[in-house]
Amino acid sequence: MGKPNIEELEQRGDVYELIKAMRYKDEAIVEQATEALVRMGETAIKPLIEKLADTIETVTEWMATSKTVAVKWPTAVPLARIGELAVNPLIETLLSYPRGGQKEKDYKDPVRRAGAAITLGLIGDKRAVEPLIESFENDPSCREETAMALGMIGDPQAVEPLIKRLGREDYHFKCPKEIIEALGRIGDKRAVQPLIKIVLDCKWGSFVEPVDSCRYAISALVNIGDERAIEPIIEKLSHDCELVRWTAAAALGQMGDKRAVEPLLGALSDRNEGVRCLAAGALSKIGDQVAVPTLMEALKDKKRDVRLAAAKALGELADARAIEPLTEALEDKDKEVREAAKEALGKIKSRKS
């Protein structure tokens, strides 16, 4: 296709050609076409919703951002910018799912409904909450997208339906990732115990879904910020899956609770260097000077990344006891470790003065 003349297409009111221009290889043209469609407003809404069914690329692991939405549902972007005017037509599309044993009229309809859900999430209008809950409960073909949209809007009204569905599995919806992330984004304390249960139920690292769900639940609990989550997350520092231990160490640093200090000091001896690095970073965020001697020992770790993390952590803690080992680290064989040690010594001297 030749380079489209966006100004001319807008003057003609040619919505479909402007939509087609959104697939053009030049990002500047895509943005011009998007802006033109937004200016057309109500006139463009119906065609834009219709074309939600035309996805460019399948994204299997994603969070709803303007960039990822533009990949999966290009017309969602101008619809979201049009905003309030598009809400009711989008709700109508969302709720057009088959009922009472009906079959889909068009194989593209579920994709269109999923795009409508995400667009409503991007708009963030509270009028969409109840329709999204209805769709979430009754339309399995786009349950992931409705869960994501409910998380984006962040209305507490969605918490109970999300929790009710949590952990249930069926053919259409096998991983609760989107539900867990939505609960984390909403941040309601009612979700804490169900999320803790997911963390505690993850006992074995050879099954992908429980491990992933555990990691998502830990991240959601960090977002909610409830102290009841500290002990269950600490427990996961000894999980047999390194990905869970990574997530737990990072989470404990973000939560900043001093109950995690001793377990994180133990994690500095973890068999996995990534866990050791994250434990060092977490200890620096918590800021307890108790960690200084063990971090000083970590400056001698065989792995360069662990030594680097330890040097940075000691710089953040700025304890004078670390001056001697940091001075020795100025002779480290790795340049970045030497630079981190030098910076850490500078922070300690600044604090002393």
Of 125, 226, 209, 131, which Cα lies nearest the Cα of 173?
209
**Last-in-domain residue among 255, 285, 305:** 255
SS3 5: coil
The answer to whether residue 178 sits within a structural domain is yes
Backbone angles phi, psi at 225, to 5 degrees: 75, 35
CATH of the domain at 116: 1.25.10.10
- Report pLDDT digits (tens) over 185-218: 999 999 999 999 999 988 764 445 678 889 999 9
Is 290 part of a structural domain of the chain? no
- Spatial CB neighbours of 102, under 8 Å, sequence gap ≥ 6: none
The answer as to whether 318 is a domain residue is: no
Would you say residue 83 has pLDDT above 90?
yes
d(CA 173, CA 185): 20
DSSP 317-341: HT-GGGHHHHHHHTT-SSHHHHHHH
In a domain, 36, yes or no: no
Is 140 domain-assigned?
yes
- Which of helix, strand or coil describes residue 207? coil
- Judged on CB neighbours under 10 Å (0-12, 13-18, 19+), 175 is middle
* 345 inside domain: no
Instruction: Categorize the per-residue pLDDT at 250 as very low, low, confident or very high, splitting at 50, 70 and 90.
Output: very high
* 306 contact partners, CB below 8 Å, separation of at least 6: 273, 276, 277, 280, 298
Give the rounded percent of residues in the chain with a pLDDT score beyond 90: 76
Structurally, how many domains does the chain consist of? 2
Amino acid at 20: K
Does residue 180 sit within a domain? Answer: yes
Does 228 have pLDDT greater than 60? yes
Given a cut of 90, whether residue 137 has pLDDT beyond it is yes
3-state helix, strand, coil in the chain (%, to 5): 75, 0, 25
Please give the backbone phi and psi of residue 174, each rounded to the nearest 5 degrees, phi first.
Answer: -100, -20
Taking 70 as the threshold, does the pLDDT of residue 174 lie above it?
no
Query: Which one of 191, 220, 255 terminates a domain?
Result: 255
Give this prediction's pTM: 0.86
Half-sphere exposure (CA, 13 Å, Cβ side) for 256?
5
Number of Cβ within 10 Å of residue 48's Cβ equals: 30
Domain end point (choices 153, 187, 218): 153
Q: Which amino acid type is present at position 314?
A: L
Domain that holds residue 149: 41-153
CB half-sphere exposure, 220, CA atoms < 13 A: 32
Tallying the residues shown for the chain, one arrives at 353
Tens-place pLDDT, residues 10-50: 999 999 999 999 888 888 999 999 999 999 999 999 999 99
Give Dmax over CA atoms of the chain in angstroms.
76
